[in-house]
Amino acid sequence: MSDGDGDAGGRTEISTETDPSVLVLRKGTHGVPIEEYAAALRDRLPDGSVELARTPAAERESIRDAEFVTGMVLEEPLLERAENLEVFACAYAGTGHLPMDRLEQRGVTVTNASGVHGPNIGEHVLGSILRFTRRFHVGNRRQRRREWRHYQAHELQGSMVTIVGLGAIGTAVAERLEPFGVETVGIRYTPEKGGPTDEVIGFDPEALHEALARTDYLVLACPLTETTRGLIDRDAFVTLDPEAVLVNVARGPVVDTGALLEAVRSNWIRGAALDVTDPEPLPEDHPLWNFENVKITPHNAGHTPKYYDRLAEIVAENARRFAECDGDGIDLENQVRP
């Protein structure tokens, strides 16, 4: 935490209160009322104060004196009214939508919701893999036609699954695949850290393509960065086996959409399960909608009825740590800045 005047990221006296105080901003997520998030925080901070700013005017007024704020977004006009802000607990795992440069200038500590999505997105990936393994989409088509006719399927056991990104989501995917008897390769920036997969490699192009050549199911669970943007391009699709399946729960631009269309049309891959697309939302007239072997969900893998509960566990603990800090520094869970 830092000292100084208002424009330079200034602070008033560091709070020495032992009872946590949290301001919740009004935007919710996944169609679940933000009141449920505030309630979950109050349950975990019975001796603290949790204020929900339910209108724009309430946000503008309450954030002026707030030191610990949580929410999905924090736009610059509102940030400029936050005279005493010390911590912003972002309620999303990603922070690219935040004014991070200005937050850094102001000396604000930023945390995220990393780990909240692990179980539900892990299950979404597993369901997507099993759909293609057992070809449930073919069974659905024949049921609609009332057609009792056998079809060939696949077996997951003994397959190779490559997981790009070994954060909370990639780890959850690997853990859920373990009972199925598959081999796993994880791809991360720091392969020396190891991971939950049988093998861990970095983003070196040669190592990446060597893994792709052995891959039956390619799972993308990485953030969108300069390294991962367009990572799965035409060369990657050519390297993949024609029986390989792509599952993308990362971000749409990790995949070159034009190359994906060519791969599907030319039978370079068996299919794709896309929870994210580029562009997003996917336009109604986009050709990706028309392929039976492309399963599209509307960025829905992150939905879980337990979202606010998991998020509140992280944020409540951080609010307690902040309230108890002595001004010499603070160590928060999921801290992304500084």
Question: Are β-strands 87-90 and 68-71 bridged in parallel, bridged antiparallel, or unpaired?
Answer: parallel
DSSP state of 236: H
Active site residue 192: no
Residues 297 and 275: their CA atoms lie apart, in Å, by: 5
**Catalytic residue at 251?**
yes
Residue 263, phi then psi, degrees to nearest 5: -65, -40
Q: Pick the catalytic residue: 81, 137, 299, 303?
A: 299
CB 107 within 8 A of CB 125: no
Residue 86 and residue 108: Cα distance in Å, rounded?
5
Pairing of strands 68-71, 21-24: parallel
Among residues 117, 124, 131, 251, the one annotated as catalytic is 251
> Is 141 among the catalytic positions?
no
- Which of 132, 219, 135, 231 is CA-nearest to residue 184? 219
Q: What is the 3-state secondary structure (H, E, C) of 245-314?
A: EEEECCCHHHECHHHHHHHHHCCCCCEEEECCCCCCCCCCCCHHHHCCCEEECCCCCCCCCCHHHHHHHH
**Could you tell me where the DSSP H helices lie in 135-256?**
136-144, 168-177, 205-212, 234-239
Query: Going edge to edge, which strands form the sheet with 335-337?
Result: 49-52, 21-24, 68-71, 87-90, 109-111, 335-337
Measured distance CA(37)–CA(24) in Å, rounded = 8
Cα–Cα dist 147/156, whole Å? 26
- From 35, 243, 280, 313, the catalytic residue: 280
Q: How far apart are CA 158 and CA 38, in angstroms?
A: 46
- Catalytic residue list: 251, 280, 299
